[in-house]
Amino acid sequence: MATRRQLLAALPALLAGAAATRARAAGVTTLRIGFQKGEPVLVAAKQNRAFETLLDPLGVTVSWLEFPFGPPILEAMRVGSIDIGGVGDTPPIFAQAAHADLVYIAARPSTGDSSAVLVPPGSTLQTLHDLKGRKIAFARGSSAQNLTLAALEKAGLSFDDIQPIYLAPADAAAAFAHGDIDAWTIWDPYYAIAQTRPGVRVLASSKDITPQNSFYLASRAYAAQTPQIVDKVVASLGDVGAWCDAHKDQVAGLLSSGTGVPLPDMIRAINRTSFRSIPMTEALLADQQRVADRFSNLHLIPGRLNVRDYAWHVAA
């Protein structure tokens, strides 16, 4: 769940999206995309005007709205302020459990090495089981929370065995640096930045714990009303992802300049990531169902969630 401070940070984008909603009611045809400035495929698509080139012949303009992280993107989509956005594996679970009618349209399958559980300098922790009784920081409702839960499962621990510390990445980085927490679950590029600090160790990476896919979602109403546009966006995501994989140096430079992350750290993050973007498959839905079940079994979301109900199309 997003904190009040985080939602306030997202307010300008939400207000801009609301203005776009009013414009749409007046007859303007626009595709509104929510993105994070550290999300490589959508940032590259924006830079290269990939969607604009594709949709201009249809008379569709593209509007880009920046958000600080995933949950506010899906909240904006839920209230009708944006049409499409990209997030990690956990925000859709929380959004859909809260009855947001959003559908998976495409995914970026995990390479399994872009998130990790980190321990600070001087830590005596050596295995995931050593997390028992410790303070572990992660962002609530984020992919880092899912990775933490999966790490505990792997170690034979329960959620009650740790002290969860819910912090946004910037706040967690400060707590980690000051020695206020015992471990930090985090994704790139924060993970890559932390690795440069003397004494910081990787207790386990996502490759050792569980696959973590990223997803592109649309409001169900938008997908139903404009299937031709959504089809074109999905195809374009595949093309842009392939371009990113073939031009990693350029992607690293683009994201470094946009985020302020030092270029060497961004290169480290980019080089261990695949940007292949594909339509939804049964295997991807099965992975996401395991995420939903993990949160449901711990009563962190209400009831059970059938992820397949939220798939727009599934590739054969």
Query: pLDDT by residue (tens digit) across 76-85?
Result: 999 999 999 9
Q: What is the pLDDT of residue 69?
A: 79
pLDDT in the model for residue 316: 63
| Tens digits of residue pLDDT in 90-102 | 999 999 999 999 9
| Structure confidence by residue, pLDDT tens digits, 189-217 | 999 999 999 999 999 999 999 989 999 99
* Residue 28: band (very low, low, confident or very high) from pLDDT cuts 50, 70, 90: very low
pLDDT confidence tier of residue 26, bands split at 50, 70 and 90: very low
Give which of 86, 87, 157 is closest to 117, Cα–Cα: 157
269 conformational bin, left if phi > 0, alpha if psi -120 to 50, beta if neither: alpha
User: How is residue 311 annotated by DSSP?
Assistant: B
Average pLDDT, the chain: 89
Considering only CA atoms, which of 86, 119, 23, 90 is closest in space to residue 277?
86
Contact call for residues 251 and 270 (beta carbons, < 8 A): yes
Per-residue pLDDT tens for 251-280?
A: 999 999 888 899 999 999 999 999 999 999
pLDDT at residue 171 is higher than 90: yes
Domains of the chain: residue spans and CATH: 4-109+213-310 (3.40.190.10), 115-209 (3.40.190.10)
Higher pLDDT, 179 or 39: 179
Exposure string over 208-225, b if 16+ CB within 10 A, otherwise e: ebbbbbbbbbbbeebbee
Sorting pLDDT into bands at 50, 70 and 90, what band is 111?
Answer: confident
- Partnered with residue 129 across adjacent β-strands are none
